[in-house]
């Protein structure tokens, strides 16, 4: 078996590529964050805590309310959406199509003090707002122990 390696002349572009290719974070940045489907697969999220609960805001433009599914199972909140756009017109000749299907799924571990029965969500202006209310603290019962 013969292996051939061709050496290309070093240019500024090649030298910079060699320097940044050696960094492990570059692979993450290049492959995950800078890919065209990163934000459609993983929508950006803001999470805020208030005195009454937690607020999760997801940026997911272009969806309808019916596209979203929110489930709570085993202390995990799963938020997903799927949208298929299928339009076909006999009058138009399609030259290029770069969209037609969008989907994502995000999961969040819930804190023990979250009231899972009263979680609600609202979608407006491309932002899905999920409200996770906190449970009311149960007062600790005082137990009298009788000495015998």
**Pairing outcome for strands 127-133 and 68-73:** unpaired
Domain ranges of the chain: 11-41, 42-86+99-136
DSSP string, 38-57: HHHHS--EEEEE-SSEEEEE
Fold observed for domain 42-86+99-136? Immunoglobulin-like (2.60.40)
Q: Half-sphere exposure of 14 toward its Cβ, with a 13 Å CA cutoff?
A: 5
Q: What is the pLDDT along the chain (148 residues), one digit of tens a residue?
A: 455 554 555 555 555 555 555 555 454 544 444 444 555 567 899 999 999 999 999 998 888 898 899 999 988 999 999 887 666 666 667 666 666 667 889 999 998 899 999 999 999 999 999 999 998 877 777 788 888 7
C-alpha distance from residue 64 to each of 30, 44, 131 (Å): 31, 18, 18
- The number of beta carbons lying within 10 Å of the beta carbon of residue 132 is 24
Terminal C-alpha separation, the chain: 90
């Amino acid at each position: 078996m013969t292996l051939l390696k061709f050496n290309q002349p070093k240019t500024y572009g090649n030298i910079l590529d060699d320097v940044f290719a050696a960094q492990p974070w570059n692979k993450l940045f290049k492959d995950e964050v800078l890919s065209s489907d990163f934000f459609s697969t993983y929508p950006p999220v803001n999470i805020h805590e208030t005195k009454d609960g937690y607020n999760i805001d997801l940026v997911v433009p272009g969806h309808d309310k019916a596209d979203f599914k929110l489930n709570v199972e085993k202390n995990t909140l799963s938020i997903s959406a799927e949208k298929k756009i299928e339009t076909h017109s006999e009058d138009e000749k399609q030259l290029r199509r770069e969209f037609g299907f969008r989907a994502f799924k995000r999961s969040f571990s819930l804190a023990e003090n979250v009231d899972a029965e009263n979680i609600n969500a609202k979608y407006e202006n491309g932002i899905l707002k999920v409200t996770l209310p906190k449970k009311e603290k149960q007062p600790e019962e005082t137990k009298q122990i009788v000495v015998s």
